[in-house]
Structure formats: C-alpha cells, structure tokens
Amino acid sequence: MELSSAADGRKVALLTLGCARNEVDSEELAARLHADGWQVTTDGEGADVVLVNTCGFVEKAKQDSIQTLLAAADTGAKVVAAGCMAERYGRELADSLPEAQAVLGFDDYPDISSRLGAVLAGEQIDAHTPRDRRELLPLTPVSRRGSTVVVPGHGGGAAPTRDGVVTDEHTPAHLRPVLRRRLDSGPVASLKLASGCDRRCAFCAIPAFRGAFVSRTPDELLAEAEWLAKTGVRELVLVSENSTSYGKDLGDPRLLEKLLPQLAAVPGIVRVRASYLQPAETRPGLVEAIATTPGVAPYFDLSFQHSAESVLRRMRRFGSTARFLELLESARALAPDAGARSNFIVGFPGETRADVEELVRFLSAARLDAIGVFDYSDEDGTEAATLSGKVSAATVKRRYDRLSALADELCSQRAEERLGSTVEVLVDSIEGGVVEGRAAHQAPEVDGSTTLVAPAVGGVDLAVLRPGDLVRATVTGTEGVDLIAVPDEMISAATSPDGAR
C-alpha cells in the first residue's frame, strides 16, 4: 500500500508484527517519516529501507520477527529492526543478525528519519544495551507526568508544527497535529490509551521493555479519535497493556468510565470497544459503563490466564473460578448478550492435574465467545523462568491440545446460542460479493466474524452495503465461532471523508 505519492525521494516499507499496540506505534513512525519526505509503504517491493516493527512477546513471535527480517534482507533493501524485540535485545540481536543494518530502540523513534537516513548513507548505528525501562520513570504513577522518557505511540520528541506554527505539550490537544499516519483505510482503528504496565505477572516480560504505566490524557485521545473519524474510521478499539489502569497516573482511576461516553459521542464513530481488561481492576462502575453506554460495545476482553487459585498466586495474579464467574455474571446481568473473551496459559510451573480440571470447570461454565490457549514456555528475565515445579514438555503439549480442543468446542457452542438473536454488525470488507463484518462481541482479527447473506424478502440489499456501514441483522447460522446473519435494517451508513456515500 502506497501512502505517499512524492515522485522522488527515499522510500521506506513499514512492516508490523504483533499486537494492535504495535500497529499504533508503526503509524506514529509512518507520520514522522512522511513529515520528513519519505515515501511510506507497507510493501517491501522497491523500497530503499524495510523497517520491521518486531514483536518480542513469546518465542513464536520472536521467530516470526526473525523470519520477516531475513525475508526483507532478501529483497536487497537495507533492513532495520525496531519494536519490542529490538528494544528487548538490542545489541544481542544486532550481533546475532548481521542481515539487519541497524537495530533501533524506542529512544530512536523521535529521530527515526535521521536514523534511516544514516542507514541509507552506509553509516554504522550502534545498537543499544537493553535496560529495564520501568526504572526510567518515577515509581509513583502521578509523578510520571511531564517526563521526557520516550513512550512509543504517545507522540513525544521534537515539537511538530501545525499550519506552520510550532506546537508543544502546552498547546491544547485539539490544536496540535495528530502524530499518526494510517497504514490502511479500513473502518476500524486502534486508539492507544496508555503504554507500559505496573503489574508484576511472573510469566510476562513486557513491563521490563515497555516500561512503567503511562496514560495519555483524555483531550489527546479525543482529538485523535476525531481525527480518525475524519479518515473514515467507524469503530475505535481502545488498546494498552492494561486498560483498567487508565487514569491512575492522572489522579483519577475512574477515568475510563468517564472517557467511554465521550469517545462514543465523537461524530462518525458508531462503536467503541475496550480491550485488555485486568479482572482484578475491573470495577463495578467500569462494568456498568461498558455494558450500558450507548455506542460502547458490551464486550469484555478479560485477561484471566487461569482460574485455579494456586496457579494464579504463583503467576502473581488474583482471582478464582468463583470470582471470575461472578464478574462475568455481573456483566451479563446488565447486558445479557454481552461478549466475553480471554486467554489462558497451560503448563505453568507447579500446575497440577487438579488445577487443569479446575480450569476445565471454569471454561465449561464461563460461556466465553473466544478463548486463546497458550502453552507455557520460559521467557528471558521473568520470575516464572526461575520457578521450580516445571511441567514436562510432553505434559504441557498434552494439556495444551486438550484445552485447545475444548476451547474450540465451547466457543462453537456459544456461537450457536446466538442463533435467532439480533446483532449489530459493522461491515469490514466486501470482496467478490462476500460481505464480512463483526458483531459487537467480535473484536477485529481475534474473535471471528459475521458473514452477511441476502434476505429472502425485505431487509437490506447487500449491493448497497459499504465498509463502515452498521446494520442490524438476525443470526441464521454458525461456522465455528463465526456467524451467518441476514441484514434487517441499516442503523448508520458510512460516508467517505468528503461526505459522499
């Protein structure tokens, strides 16, 4: 995808791996590069530089990042690694991957154009020595405001200009340019609430290389939401490492509850979806806001990870089967058709057969719409890697296979429960006459989709539908977690940025 039409100049291909947070970071990098005259694409063909925004979360993600970097090197372009894996390993990655001309850390992001320019000029850029980025910010969350530490996706660094006028952090957010350039034109976009995490989950290395928790201010988020809406975005997906912590460093831990209706009221936005909720911090007021606010999807992306208390304690997390079921019931009491999803780790050190059976009991009762199952593996620098009671690889695989099969079965059953129900579907794409969208309980890419089919009589003609349309539909069939539905009526028709249909 070509994002700049400059006839001459340097061309960079930006390839993004990993999560939605990484995608937002890439769009910040794209904005910085475009502002400095680079042609920015998402296609490596003919690029002078291929910038790979890597993922460093788990072993498979790291291997995918390595393979992408190696494939980029085969194109003949200069190859640069950025993102989480590059930040996490720095010099070690540079030494082990000579195919990459540079390995850049987060501190390089404000000067990304000059860094890539140096690579093109054949200059050597020394990779950084990784450090625990949590140590760069004050321990007390409310003391972190005004820090000069680089936080990807927060638009820090050199002062941008708007209409030729230099702006800074003291300029009201609605008067500052949005430091973001979209890398696709779809009707859905992620909006980063915050970066980093203050929790100390034993299995997770993310806080060490992403840093301590830092919220973006509501005025900045609202300004970016308005900008996204003007580019054709209809659904905002709120992302962070831990969305339930939003606002604690701004002095108001209930700030997300207040922000949700404001985002839903942005002209052009028809759906706001919160994600990455920590069960231990999901307060009743937040449950109510998500379940009952018009324009907010009644959708609960809850990071349970397990349900056996003994395993959760070793993970340095809180909860139990009973508490998690109560949380889900409180949401469904307010919104009976609310969607819910979660991820789970099997084979964590010390996990017993009884713990697995407790997890099976929870999953069987939870009626989750989507379930992600991960097999435990040691991660560098995590507490879990040092724990005793390691589960054998063969046992981990056996438990993973069992829980994965159960998850597929349970999610298919949950989809079948929606037969005959009415859902609101946002149209994502139309290809070859096939209209694909998502109901409120289906987040992009991870929770399945809804295929709209022509009604026998009446209803909405598929031929008039466009990406971004929001329709009310009746579920008539299922395929695993995916739904098949007939559109009954148009709720909100999408328009192009110039107002045309």
List strand residue ranges (DSSP E) for 395-469, in order: 422-431, 434-438, 450-452
Find out whether 411 is annotated in a ligand binding site: no
The answer to whether 476 and 418 have CB atoms below 8 angstroms apart is no
Tokens at 380, concatenated: 């560098």
> Which residues make Cβ contacts (< 8 Å) with residue 369, sequence separation at least 6?
339, 340, 341, 411, 414, 415, 441, 442, 447, 448, 481
* Amino acid present at 405: A
Its sign, for the CA torsion 301, 306, 309, 312, is: negative
Consult the annotation and say whether 19 binds a ligand: yes
- Nearest-angstrom CA–CA distance, 126 and 124: 6
Dihedral (CA of 325, 382, 71, 54) sign: positive
Nearest in space to 177 (alpha carbons), one of 6, 31, 30: 31
Burial environment of residue 496 by CB neighbours within 10 A (0 to 12, 13 to 18, 19 or more): exposed
Rounded to whole angstroms, the Cα distance separating 381 from 143 reads: 27
Contacting residues for 175 by C-beta, under 8 A, at least 6 apart: 162, 167
Cα separation, 126 vs 101, in Å, equals: 10
d(C-alpha 37, C-alpha 483), whole Å = 44
> Is 201 known as a binding-site position?
yes
CA 209 to chain centre: 17
d(CA 225, CA 269): 8
Alpha helix ranges (H) inside 248-383: 255-264, 284-292, 309-314, 321-334, 353-366
Spell out the residues 6+ positions from residue 155 whose beta carbon is closer than 8 angstroms to its own: 28, 178, 179, 180, 220
Beta strands in 59-133 (DSSP E): 78-82, 102-103
**Bridge partners (DSSP) listed for residue 426:** 438, 470
Which residues are known binding-site members for [4Fe-4S] cluster? 19, 55, 84, 197, 201, 204
Which residues are known binding-site members? 19, 55, 84, 197, 201, 204
